[in-house]
Amino acid sequence: MMSFEDRVVPIMQVNGYLLVPIQIDLDDRTVGLLQQQLLKEIERTRAKAVILDVRMVEVIDSYISYTLSETAAMARLMGCRTVLCGIQPPVALTLAQMGVVLQEVTVARNLEHALVLAGSFQERDRGV
Amino acid sequence: MYEERITTIIEGPAQDFDIVVRITREEDIAVARQMAKQLAQEIGFSLADVTRIATAVSELARNIYRYARQGRIMIRKRLEDRDSPGIEVIAADRGPGIPDIELVLTRGYTTWERSLGIGLSGVKRLMDSFAIHSEVGKGTVVITEKRRRTF
């Protein structure tokens, strides 16, 4: 179990998914802790998908982008998909202008869409 | 001449700027980003531009921390032109310098293991003007500016 201080986000379990609202300023240390916390929770819960809600995140720079992609790649190796939802328009604009590509991450329009996507992965993985 | 310029910028009076953030620890990256955001909001930039400016400052501060270990982010309002005020961001360090500036401005190029290699080229895209002076063994200065759009 992680010590309480190392947990930077609340993680909720819904239908075999992990729902993660990110409501903190992602500095370099925090984004590293977020990665560790997510991987531990994925291992512990055997979640099929993790949904990151970044509605409250005001700045996503290249390092945060890199770490999110890296986390998603790690999760994928553990059999878990990563869906990102809620990217704010100014953040989307900035990322697009910088040419950031979030590899390994599936982007959803909103939380509802994220849940639909997470469900579709589950079906695909089951071979339905 | 060039060295003088770096010295003037690094050791120059802090009162020439509205914000001076010394970058020595990782946390300082977020501090610089946050302060830039506040100043940009004060100047009346749109939310999109505030985000661009904060992101650019984040990239510049991280480069200082990664490659030079320490340096300064200096930010000031540019209010001479009433119709289009602006913000100037200077990142200065006495780090190892950049041997090939064109190469580091190539998207995807990086010497850092965990990086997308789009930091500096990203800053150039996000800001209106971008100038970089660097000399190996002496340091690097990046000067960038963003003007507020007139409506």
Separation between Cα atoms, residue B12 and residue B70, nearest integer Å: 16
Contact A111, A56 (CB under 8 A): no
Q: In this complex, is the C-beta atom of A58 within 8 Å of any C-beta atom belonging to chain B?
A: yes
A91/B114 touch (CB, cutoff 8 Å), yes or no:
no
pLDDT for res A56:
94
Identity of the residue in B27, B47, B58 whose CB atom sits nearest the CB atom of A90: B47
pLDDT tens digits, A25-75: 899 999 999 999 999 999 999 999 999 999 999 999 999 999 999 999 999
- Across all residues in chain B, what is the average pLDDT? 91
Beta strands in chain B (DSSP E): 19-23, 71-78, 86-93, 129-135, 139-147
Q: Which residues of B touch A98 (CB under 8 A)?
A: 55, 118, 121-122, 125-126
Spatial strand order in the sheet of B71-78: B19-23, B71-78, B86-93, B139-147, B129-135
**Chain B residues interacting with chain A (CB cutoff of 8 angstroms):** 26-27, 29-30, 33-34, 37, 47-48, 50-52, 54-55, 58-59, 62, 107, 114-116, 118-119, 121-122, 125-126
Which tops the pLDDT comparison, B150 or B146?
Answer: B146
pLDDT band at A123 (very low <50, low <70, confident <90, very high): confident
Output B102-106 pairs: Cβ under 8 A, ≥24 positions apart: B105/B132
**What integer is the mean pLDDT of B93-116?**
91
> CA quadruple A71, A24, B62, B146: dihedral positive or negative?
positive
**What integer is the mean pLDDT of A101-110?**
95
B116/A100 touch (CB, cutoff 8 Å), yes or no:
yes
Q: Is the pLDDT score of B6 beyond 70?
A: no
Distance from CA of B16 to the nearest CA of A (A): 27
Distance from CA of A91 to the nearest CA of B (A): 7
B122/A90 touch (CB, cutoff 8 Å), yes or no:
no
Separation between Cα atoms, residue B146 and residue B130, nearest integer Å: 9
- Across all residues in chain A, what is the average pLDDT? 92
pLDDT tens digits, B125-137: 999 999 999 999 9
Q: Is the pLDDT score of A1 beyond 60?
A: no
Q: Is the pLDDT score of B87 beyond 90?
A: yes
Tokens representing A56? 């409250």
Whole-structure pTM value: 0.92
Q: Which residues of A touch B29 (CB under 8 A)?
A: 27-28
Q: Is the pLDDT score of B9 beyond 90?
A: no
Please compute, for residue B28, the number of CA atoms within 13 A of its CA located in the half-sphere on the CB side.
20
**What integer is the mean pLDDT of B105-114?**
89
Q: Is the pLDDT score of B8 beyond 80?
A: no
Nearest C-alpha neighbor of A108 from the set A89, A86, A127: A86
Contact B146, B124 (CB under 8 A): no
pLDDT for res B151:
59
pLDDT band at B37 (very low <50, low <70, confident <90, very high): very high
Phi-psi region of A46 (alpha: psi -120 to 50; beta: other; left: phi over 0): left
pLDDT for res B64:
97
